[in-house]
Amino acid sequence: MPSAARLRAIDHILARTTVETPPVKDLDALWASDVFSLETMKSALPKGVFKSIQRSIKEGTKLDTSVADVVAQAMKDWATGRGALYYAHVFYPLTNLTAEKHDGFISPQGDGTAITEFTGKLLVQGEPDGSSFPNGGIRSTFEARGYTAWDVTSPAYLMETPNGVTFCIPTVFVSWTGEALDKKTPLLRSNAAMNKQAQRLLRLLGETEIAPVNSSCGAEQEYFLVDSAFTALRPDLQLAGRTLLGAPPAKGQQFDDHYFGAIPERVQVFMQDVERQLYKLGIPAKTRHNEVAPGQFEIAPYFEAANVATDHQQLTMTVLKGTAKKHGFTCLLHEKPFAGVNGSGKHVNWSIGNATQGNLLDPGHTPHKNLQFLLFCGAVIRGVHSFGPLMRAAIATASNDHRLGANEAPPAIISVYLGSQLEDVFAQIKAGNLQGSAEAALMSLGVDTLPDLNKDPGDRNRTSPFAFTGNRFEFRAVGSGQSVAGPLVVLNTILADSIQWIADQLDDQLAHGSSLEEAAFSVLKRTMDDHGAVVFGGDGYSAAWHHIAVEERGLENLPTCADALPVLQRQVIRDLFERQGVLSPLELESRFEVYAEQYILAIEVEAKLVLRMARTQVYPAVIESLNNLACSLKNQEALGITPDRSLLDPVVSLNHQLLASCTALEQVLASPPHGVVEHMRYCADTLLPHMTGIREAIDALELLVDEAIWPLPTYQEMLFMR
């Protein structure tokens, strides 16, 4: 029988009824109904104004500010007609979160009356007092001006909360001197850099009509749902988003019976509610299923332009968390909420393409003949090999460190998986002898009534951090709680840089009289000679790969943030971002400072929390247990039974261990080193192992102490009850 508090939580959960949620019936009517979309604009704006806006969105031309007043008026009419009293400039600070500043549409007239008002000036530029957002020293608080500016390429929308309806305008967030303080600005810049170089390469390949090239993203989001009655009893889930303590349940995920199993009813209703809201926001949620671990689920949208997909991904996280609350769940986006249980990632599917040439990473049926594909794919390979450590840095958070390399998620070594067909094609290129590519085959299932299946020319590889999956790359090492902006910025930027290199080489060789084909294959061969070491099709989890990658291929293994974040301070990385016009050295340095500080803060908060839980929750329960056991020994003696100390002794010794580990952690916590890099190292090498020491004692005690006094909901309860 669980402790009184846990019992109350369990009773509460058993008495829960599902929250009324109408199923989505008329998708057409619902779809994007809360979005100030192109269609809405078309009917609400004069033709000339609409055309101007459309050009900015589709062709990336500079926004004509003279149309802003007209658009603002139309936006206000539409939004207030839908019940919005407030509008918000929404921006994405360096915290992975979404920030918004709300302002009323209302404007007092000085004679006691008020009208609603929204001007072009208010639409285009805002000035939130964002001084308390981390900015890594770019902006000292005494000159705290920061501006938000309308991103016309990401649609504005209505957000309904219990607080009412707010009209939300996606914006960039910059300092008064123009430095990017957010994640959107560099994303837009990286896309522009990639577009510029991709257009250049396409022109070299003989294309004359070339539409703007855009990066695309489809982000698969994994998450856990835990009943909120349990979360209320777990300070660690509330403050750190993960359990700092907890013994593994007798039954874990070994049976694989949760993966793709039937979705529990309460969760189904929750998902339906989430999807309904996402559809209204024009977010193309497409697949949903159970994940590997009990209590773990996934939602994936159809891919969109990277900038829009990124805003939509942030919204998806917001909707998941808010809707979970409504349904009595806590949605955990942490990468490793439960030790020993599969963690959560966010697979970032990424490609580039345009309206005239299509998906530039689509190999077609005969990749060996597809020069365009080979060059763009070669550029990706070169980019990942040259800047793998930067990709690792872009996914470095305290929480993702727990997942990477933990035998369930890709290792912290960045390599590329191409699939057997392409691996073979690129090996032939390297050997200077390109013959052809393996054909896609039909796969007979051996039963006449079943159709033959098309067999993909390359298999999947779940152990690779960065895998080619048919017509895109999938960056699988991204953390579930992270903004996808950072990883996309890095991918676009390293690709831009590699395409630039390739185009330079082609230019040079063409000028020396080579044919396009000769030049292309010579550049591709050189690319594979210099960078082929990053291509790996084997088991990324294996110890052998860790050895080969580092010792033989010279790839870097950066297991923790303390190893990975300093990459941002390398001169080659500064040069890369500056060369491509994505981040100035100052902007890059500020990102290093902010991310390092977040890492340190996250671990120090956890360390303090684990101490507090150990002493104020676990220790009292252990003492009570010791009292009971001692009492029972006395009674046994009184009854003349030989006293059995087999339970008491280990509890006594683990209790000593617990207290000693607490004292040790407290001591190291009191004297952090100077210097950011040293401070990160101390978190990784000193604090975390001490926290693990405490955890080991407590998790062992959990298996010995009477269940009736254990204060914390157990893994079994949190993972299996809903």
What does the angle CA 513 – CA 516 – CA 520 come to, to the nearest 5 degrees? Answer: 110
Decide: is 287 part of the binding site for ligand ADP (CB under 6 A): yes
In 3D, which of 157, 155, 92, 149 has the Cα closest to residue 123? 149
CA distances from 412 to 340, 394, 460, 561 (A): 18, 12, 19, 10
Decide: is 347 part of the binding site for Mg ion (CB under 5 A): yes
Partner that binds at residue 308, options Mg ion, ligand ADP, none, CB closer than 5 to 8 Å by kind: none
Binding ligand ADP by CB under 6 A: which of 300, 495, 558, 582? 300
Structure tokens at 625: 């247990």
**Among 9-17, 105-113, 348-356, 571-579, the segment contacting ligand ADP (CB under 6 A):** 348-356
**Among 78-86, 100-108, 301-309, 525-533, the segment contacting ligand ADP (CB under 6 A):** 301-309
Give me the residues paired with residue 126 across strands. Answer: 148
Partner that binds at residue 200, options Mg ion, ligand ADP, none, CB closer than 5 to 8 Å by kind: none
Contact set for ligand ADP, span 471-510 (CB under 6 A): 471-472
Angle between helices 571-579 and 585-613 (to 10 degrees): 120
CA torsion 564-565-568-571 (nearest 10°) is -60
Q: Which is nearer to ligand ADP, 194 or 576 (CB)?
A: 194
What does the angle CA 572 – CA 573 – CA 574 come to, to the nearest 5 degrees? Answer: 95
Contact (Cβ atoms closer than 8 angstroms) between residue 416 and residue 466? yes
Residues 6+ apart with CB under 8 A from 416: 380, 381, 384, 385, 464, 466, 467, 468, 473, 534, 535, 536
Partner that binds at residue 236, options Mg ion, ligand ADP, none, CB closer than 5 to 8 Å by kind: none
What's the CA gap between 369 and 621, in Å, rounded?
Answer: 70
Decide: is 351 part of the binding site for ligand ADP (CB under 6 A): yes
Q: Which is nearer to ligand ADP, 461 or 590 (CB)?
A: 461
Strands 164-175 and 84-91: parallel
Q: Which residue is nearest to ligand ADP (CB)?
A: 218
Binding ligand ADP by CB under 6 A: which of 176, 260, 302, 720? 302
Closest separation between CB of residue 309 and ligand ADP, Å? 8
CA distances from 86 to 37, 76, 106, 168, 470 (A): 19, 10, 8, 9, 44
Contact (Cβ atoms closer than 8 angstroms) between residue 475 and residue 465? yes
Q: Which is nearer to ligand ADP, 216 or 386 (CB)?
A: 216
For residue 265, with 0-12 CB atoms within 10 Å meaning exposed, 13-18 middle and 19 or more buried, which class applies?
exposed
Partner that binds at residue 363, options ligand ADP, Mg ion, none, CB closer than 5 to 8 Å by kind: none
Structure tokens at 415: 């390599």
Closest separation between CB of residue 591 and Mg ion, Å? 27
Partner that binds at residue 260, options ligand ADP, Mg ion, none, CB closer than 5 to 8 Å by kind: none
Structure tokens at 554: 């010279």
Decide: is 216 part of the binding site for ligand ADP (CB under 6 A): yes
Per-residue contact flags (x/-) with Mg ion for residues 313 to 332, judged by CB under 5 A: --------------------
Residues 6+ apart with CB under 8 A from 472: 216, 218, 303, 349, 350, 351, 359, 361
Partner that binds at residue 217, options Mg ion, ligand ADP, none, CB closer than 5 to 8 Å by kind: ligand ADP
Partner that binds at residue 218, options ligand ADP, Mg ion, none, CB closer than 5 to 8 Å by kind: ligand ADP
Structure tokens at 654: 């683990």
Partner that binds at residue 471, options Mg ion, ligand ADP, none, CB closer than 5 to 8 Å by kind: ligand ADP
Partner that binds at residue 350, options Mg ion, ligand ADP, none, CB closer than 5 to 8 Å by kind: ligand ADP
Spell out the alpha helix ranges (H) of 174-264. 184-204, 228-231, 235-239
Contact (Cβ atoms closer than 8 angstroms) between residue 704 and residue 654? yes
Decide: is 301 part of the binding site for ligand ADP (CB under 6 A): yes
Reported as type and span, the H/E element at residue 434 is none
**Among 53-61, 212-220, 256-264, 509-517, the segment contacting ligand ADP (CB under 6 A):** 212-220
Structure tokens at 644: 């059995």
**Among 151-159, 237-245, 349-357, 636-644, the segment contacting ligand ADP (CB under 6 A):** 349-357
In 3D, which of 426, 521, 519, 416 has the Cα closest to residue 472? 416
Partner that binds at residue 359, options ligand ADP, Mg ion, none, CB closer than 5 to 8 Å by kind: ligand ADP
Angle between helices 184-204 and 485-511 (to 10 degrees): 20
Contact set for ligand ADP, span 432-451 (CB under 6 A): none
Q: Which is nearer to Mg ion, 350 or 373 (CB)?
A: 350
Closest separation between CB of residue 215 and Mg ion, Å? 18
Closest separation between CB of residue 300 and ligand ADP, Å? 4
Binding ligand ADP by CB under 6 A: which of 166, 175, 316, 349? 349
Closest separation between CB of residue 419 and Mg ion, Å? 14
Decide: is 220 part of the binding site for ligand ADP (CB under 6 A): yes
Contact set for Mg ion, span 289-308 (CB under 5 A): none
Hey, how many other C-beta atoms are within 10 angstroms of the C-beta on 250? 8
Q: Which residue is nearest to Mg ion (CB)?
A: 347
Residues touching ligand ADP, count (CB under 6 A): 16
Q: Specify the DSSP class assigned to residue 368.
A: G
CA distances from 400 to 260, 317, 388 (A): 24, 17, 17
What's the CA gap between 409 and 538, in Å, rounded?
Answer: 14
Partner that binds at residue 146, options Mg ion, ligand ADP, none, CB closer than 5 to 8 Å by kind: none
Partner that binds at residue 268, options ligand ADP, Mg ion, none, CB closer than 5 to 8 Å by kind: none
Residues 6+ apart with CB under 8 A from 653: none
Decide: is 303 part of the binding site for ligand ADP (CB under 6 A): yes
Partner that binds at residue 227, options ligand ADP, Mg ion, none, CB closer than 5 to 8 Å by kind: none
In 3D, which of 615, 616, 621 has the Cα closest to residue 711? 621
Q: Which is nearer to ligand ADP, 87 or 468 (CB)?
A: 468
Decide: is 282 part of the binding site for ligand ADP (CB under 6 A): no
**Among 243-251, 298-306, 402-410, 423-431, the segment contacting ligand ADP (CB under 6 A):** 298-306
Q: Which is nearer to Mg ion, 2 or 470 (CB)?
A: 470
**Among 219-227, 402-410, 439-447, 532-540, the segment contacting Mg ion (CB under 5 A):** 219-227
**Among 40-48, 343-351, 432-440, 518-526, the segment contacting ligand ADP (CB under 6 A):** 343-351
Q: Which residues bind to ligand ADP, rule: CB under 6 A? A: 216-218, 220, 287, 300-303, 347, 349-351, 359, 471-472
Tell me which residues touch Mg ion (CB under 5 A).
220, 347
